Structure 1
Amino acid sequence: MRIAIHQPQFMPWLGYFDKLDKADLFVLLDNVQFKKNEYQNRNRIKTHEQWIWLSVPVSFNFGDLISGVQINNQQDWRRKHLQTLLTYYGKAPCYREHLPALTELYANTGDSLADLNMATIELIRKIFAIDTEIVRASDIPGLSEEPTARLLDICRHFKADTYLAGAGGKDYMECEKFKAAGLKLLFQHFVHPEYPQINGPFLPYMSALDYIFNTCGDFTLIRKLNQELEEY
């Protein structure tokens, strides 16, 4: 079984879903420290000229795990998100097709950032017709707190024989430990597609919502461009 492990992001980009698509099991690493200025509570959307952050306001203390971070629902962020998406994507070819599901997602959001991120990942996964099973690391007992050991513990728990890492994994991973544990180690090398965008010249690395609103979420192009993985 091929397993991939990644922190739960808010409305992730296309490369996130390519990694999800290439795994048999995808584990959301929600039992690690929350970092505010990354992608755990925000992502990029395209404007008429450049891009902006679509951010979820959160309440947290330094050292809090992602699984424990609460959304600051005293702010009117849901309405602002939907209004922002209308402003910049209202004329996109597939905006109205996917608006009802997105509106329902926002309406059913509670207080947990991890739950919200899981919901956004599930919504986009279904649009892309990706059937990979998703589980949370916080539901797995007895995991090590040391980063590499934690990943290996997760692989052992699910009896995986292959670990799929992101392209940047070689910069920080202790790769030999995976080999020593009998795991085949693969690295993703995501090739970003260029597609028509409603607003100005093409900008890559937006939330996958940008691709969905502009192309109706056909994942075929992503799969065609990303068929190869690098083995360690």
Structure 2
Amino acid sequence: MILSINQPAYLPWLGYFQRIARSDLHVILDHVQFEKNSMVNRNRIRTHDGWCWLTVPVKTRHRFGDLVIHRLTLADDPRWRRKHWDSLRFNYAKAPYFAEHAGFFEASYQRDWQYLIDLNLHLTRYLLDAFAINTPLLRSSQLMVDGEKSQLLLNLCRSCGADRYLSGPFGRDYLDLDAFSDAGIQVEFDDYQHPRYTQIQSRFEPYMSAVDLLFNQGPASLKILLAQIHSEAP
């Protein structure tokens, strides 16, 4: 059984979904500490001039060191919701498939979210469904698994009964591969090569939120998302 593990992300990029698609089970790592300037509460979208950040404001004042992701709450000022919806609407209104998904995103930004994890999972599950990715998700906060860094990931693999762990490329810097091998778990590193596709703007910008692919390519998104895997197939 192939397992992948990643922290929740706001409007995640393509590599996030590709790794889930390659897995039999995906664990949302939501019981670890939130890190400032991570992708947990922000991501990039395409604009007419290039790209911009969309950042969800969260309550962090006097709380660093006690900011477990699944307990992270949103800031009281709700204006970010209008800003994010307007940014999507203004920048993707002419995209071929924006109208097909606009109702969901408009309704999502009208909701009064308390916890960031609920917002992130709401958006991520919609995108998984839109991409026809059916990999089941589990939240680490519900698994009662402890440890830090490499040991935590190994313990999660054991808890889920995985015999293969699909890691991101940065796992090479900290994973204890001998410990995984001793546990009978094969580690594979996912070096995702970002595909090119037609955007409504003239100059291609990679590493945008996956909504960029969805709004521009619609039903062709999954094939583009997994283009690297298809090209490597025998």
Report the TM-score when normalising by structure 1: 0.93
| Alignment partner of 1:68 is 2:80 | no
Cα distance in 2 for residues equivalent to 1:221 and 1:44:
19
Aligned to 1:166: 168
Aligned to 2:120: 117
Aligned to 2:183: 181
Aligned CA RMSD, in angstroms, stands at: 1.5
Cα deviation, 1:117-173, whole Å, max 9, x if unaligned, reads 1111101100000000011000011x2232212111111111111111012211221
Cα distance in 2 for residues equivalent to 1:16 and 1:5:
10
SS at match of 2:45: strand
Cα deviation, 1:55-98, whole Å, max 9, x if unaligned, reads 11110220211111101142311111111111111111111111
Match for 2:99: what amino acid?
R
Cα distance in 2 for residues equivalent to 1:106 and 1:83:
10
Cα distance in 2 for residues equivalent to 1:78 and 1:223:
31
8 Å CA contact 1:152, 1:178 repeated in 2? yes
Q: 1:102 aligns with which of 89, 101, 105?
A: 105
Q: 2:159 aligns with which of 146, 157, 160?
A: 157
Cα distance in 2 for residues equivalent to 1:29 and 1:165:
13
Gaps of 5+ in 2: none
Aligned to 1:193: 195
8 Å CA contact 2:150, 2:174 repeated in 1? no
Cα distance in 1 for residues equivalent to 2:122 and 2:180:
31
Aligned to 2:138: 135
8 Å CA contact 2:197, 2:224 repeated in 1? no
Aligned to 1:25: 25
Match for 1:81: what amino acid?
H
Q: 2:227 aligns with which of 224, 227, 230?
A: 224
Match for 2:171: what amino acid?
G
Cα distance in 2 for residues equivalent to 1:108 and 1:186:
39
Q: Cα offset for 1:222?
A: 2.2
Report the TM-score when normalising by structure 2: 0.93
SS at match of 1:226: helix
Cα distance in 2 for residues equivalent to 1:109 and 1:220:
34
SS at match of 1:82: helix
**Which 4+ runs in 1 deviate beyond 3 A?**
none
Cα distance in 2 for residues equivalent to 1:132 and 1:125:
8
Match for 2:200: what amino acid?
I
Matches within 5 A, 1:196-215: 196-215=198-217
Q: Cα offset for 1:109?
A: 4.9
Q: Cα offset for 1:228?
A: 7.9
SS at match of 1:210: helix
Match for 1:117: what amino acid?
N
SS at match of 2:226: helix
Aligned to 2:40: 40
Report % sequence identity.
39
SS at match of 2:37: coil
Q: Cα offset for 1:12?
A: 0.3
Aligned to 1:144: 146
Aligned to 1:90: 93
8 Å CA contact 1:148, 1:174 repeated in 2? yes
Cα distance in 2 for residues equivalent to 1:33 and 1:165:
19
